[in-house]
A and B are shown apart, each in its own frame.
Chain A
Amino acid sequence: MYTEKVIDHFREPHNRGKMDDYSAIGKVGNIVCGDVMWLYIKVDKDEAGRDIITDISWETFGCTAAIATSSMVSDLAKGKTVEEAIAVTNQDVASELGGLPPVKMHCSAMAADALNEAIHCYMVQEGKEIPEALQKRHARIEKEIAALEKRYAAFMDKGDKKKE
């Protein structure tokens, strides 16, 4: 069911682990299945004064697809300007992995959302003007998580709440 590329990224994921000197963090959870992902970005200015994602790492509690998409989204964002990274979509993540089983497409959404949230967090911190598309996605992610948390309130326990 998984492509070789998914299995490769699962076996040897890129950029995994915690980052101590991060510029911003994106925390997302997919309560449909219970997966959780934290994405750390380090942003530095290049000579032209552009914001570059110079380092990226993640911690993920999830399935094979969640881990492989975490790895892939980090590859796709690393070295890009913040503006370029905003444009990374879940379709990009999935297609770079050679596709995902339909039931696992939400994992690629989680990875793209985590990047979105980290960038949103960074821009808010820096007092930057948030592009409308990014703000929209942020609002959707927040709303989804709130709705899902409510829907699955009966299932929630301490372990799951840690992501908040």
Chain B
Amino acid sequence: MMDMNKNSYLDNSATTPLASEVLEAMSPFFQSHYGNASSLHSAGRKAHQVVEESRNTIAGHLNIHPNEIVFTSGATEADNLALIGTALRSKNGGHLITSKIEHDAVLHSSEWLATQGYDVTFLEVDEFGRVDPDEVREAIRPDTLLVSIMAGNNEVGTIQPIREIGEICKEHEIPFHTDAVQAYGKIDLPMDVIDMLSVSAHKLHGPKGVGFLYVRKGIKLTPLLHGGGHERGRRSGTENVPGIVGLGAATQLAFEEREQVTRRMNGFREHLIEEVLKLPGTRLNGHVTESLPHIANFSFEAIEGESLIMKLDEHHIAASTGSACSSPNLEPSHVLVALGIPLSMAHGSLRISTGRQTEAPEIEALLKALPLVVKELRDMSPFKVGG
């Protein structure tokens, strides 16, 4: 039986709870094995050893070489390192290609580079949020330094045609980076055409504050952090040993359970789409099938998203919105705007995202509360649905 007071945590794209297995793997490295991985003594060697084990675990699952992994403080740093680290190798400026629906870590790094004398092309997406590989091909110039297109979108869940884009980049000998924060451990990644890939641990039941950038052998980056020359000179700073161990354990768990977890997530997603779209004045944002399994994004006519989130919170349901009112700059989500969703609908968006721990009663609690909350807010609104 479901505990009526149990919370429905349906905001797993924001962050996920740490898995017990991950916590257990990490815990010795705070107080028992606290050595610095650079130290010569046995405590240091132990720390070094587990960092390398974690590196090997990840490399094994991605079928890459362990030395191609650079541990970072998370995906924001990994994205910055990929873009800015690539751009800074070119002394005379150059050109980068990305899309309008990237995570802010890629978008704002690109925008910053544009202020530093680099040219950036921000590709449009279609109504489902997909980049057209032909547009990537057309945007390539002789001075193009990098193409960066995310693997799966964090707001609407749309999966990008990264194999096609990667092949085009390979053909033109241009490095291809992908932000795989939401996709890692959930869908197949075509590593043979990906040159750089960003990952964060906390989106997959690992700890916050750790991630990695995969950098294919032969790709040169200018480091952003200078110091003791850690990570083969690519990222200085004492290794976050418990974090890296957690990242390895979370990766192991995600890949082990992938089939079973994503099957359950897909089931939740299909059920959500079917039920939510029965409510009048609703739409699905993103793609019905070409989507990550854990994200479903809806819009509700005549409803503002922040109010919706706060009303759901009263029902102990945690979700998120791309509404302008919820953002610090009062602008609607750049992703929903890029999909061409009318402003009034972008205002009433709701993102539901599940995790490995999500259970059916949490989804049912949402589906029970949603019609009530939607009606309550619509009754308050001067706009009438469909009228």
Q: Is the CB of A16 within 8 A of B383?
A: no
Q: Is the CB of B304 within 8 A of A159?
A: no
Q: Is the CB of A61 within 8 A of B382?
A: yes
Q: Is the CB of A60 within 8 A of B310?
A: no
Q: Is the CB of B325 within 8 A of A66?
A: yes
Q: Is the CB of B382 within 8 A of A163?
A: yes
Q: Is the CB of A38 within 8 A of B382?
A: yes
Q: Is the CB of B304 within 8 A of A62?
A: yes
> How many Å from the CB of A163 to the closest CB on chain B?
7
B305: nearest chain-A partner, CB-CB: A63
Q: Is B372 an interface residue (CB 8 A)?
A: no
Q: Is the CB of A11 within 8 A of B314?
A: yes
> How many Å from the CB of B387 to the closest CB on chain A?
9
Q: Is the CB of A34 within 8 A of B345?
A: no
B325: nearest chain-A partner, CB-CB: A63
Q: Is B302 an interface residue (CB 8 A)?
A: yes
A155 to B346, CA, bound (A): 10
Q: Is B344 an interface residue (CB 8 A)?
A: yes
Residues of B286-313 contacting chain A, CB below 8 A: 301-304, 306-307, 310
Known: A33-B330, A63-B304, A64-B307. A162 touches B325 (CB 8 A): no
Residues of B contacting A155 with CB < 8 Å? 337, 343
Query: CB within 8 A of B379: which of A17, A27, A62?
Result: A17
Residues of A contacting B307 with CB < 8 Å? 10, 62-64, 66-67
Q: Is A47 an interface residue (CB 8 A)?
A: no
Q: Is A103 an interface residue (CB 8 A)?
A: yes
Q: Is A156 an interface residue (CB 8 A)?
A: yes
Residues of B contacting A156 with CB < 8 Å? 343
Q: Is B342 an interface residue (CB 8 A)?
A: yes
Q: Is B27 an interface residue (CB 8 A)?
A: no
Q: Is B142 an interface residue (CB 8 A)?
A: no
Q: Is A115 an interface residue (CB 8 A)?
A: no
Q: Is the CB of A34 within 8 A of B332?
A: yes
Known: A34-B347, A62-B304. A157 touches B342 (CB 8 A): yes
A2: nearest chain-B partner, CB-CB: B310
Q: Is the CB of B380 within 8 A of A35?
A: no
A42 to B259, CA, bound (A): 62
Q: Beta-carbon contacts of A14-45 to B below 8 Å, as 1s and 0s?
A: 00110000000001000011111110000000
Query: CB within 8 A of A159: which of B302, B310, B326, B328?
Result: B302
Q: Is the CB of A64 within 8 A of B347?
A: no
A156 to B332, CA, bound (A): 13
Residues of B contacting A63 with CB < 8 Å? 304, 306-307, 323, 325-326
CB-CB nearest 4 A-B residue pairs: A159-B344, A63-B325, A59-B382, A63-B306
Chosen A-B contacts, 7 in total, with CB atoms closer than 8 Å, are A10-B307, A16-B380, A36-B381, A65-B325, A103-B328, A158-B342, A159-B383
User: Which residues of A does B touch, CB under 8 Å?
Assistant: 7, 10-11, 13, 16-17, 27, 32-38, 59-67, 103, 106, 152, 155-160, 162-163
User: Which residues of B does A touch, CB under 8 Å?
Assistant: 301-304, 306-307, 310, 314, 323-326, 328, 330, 332, 337, 342-345, 347, 379-383
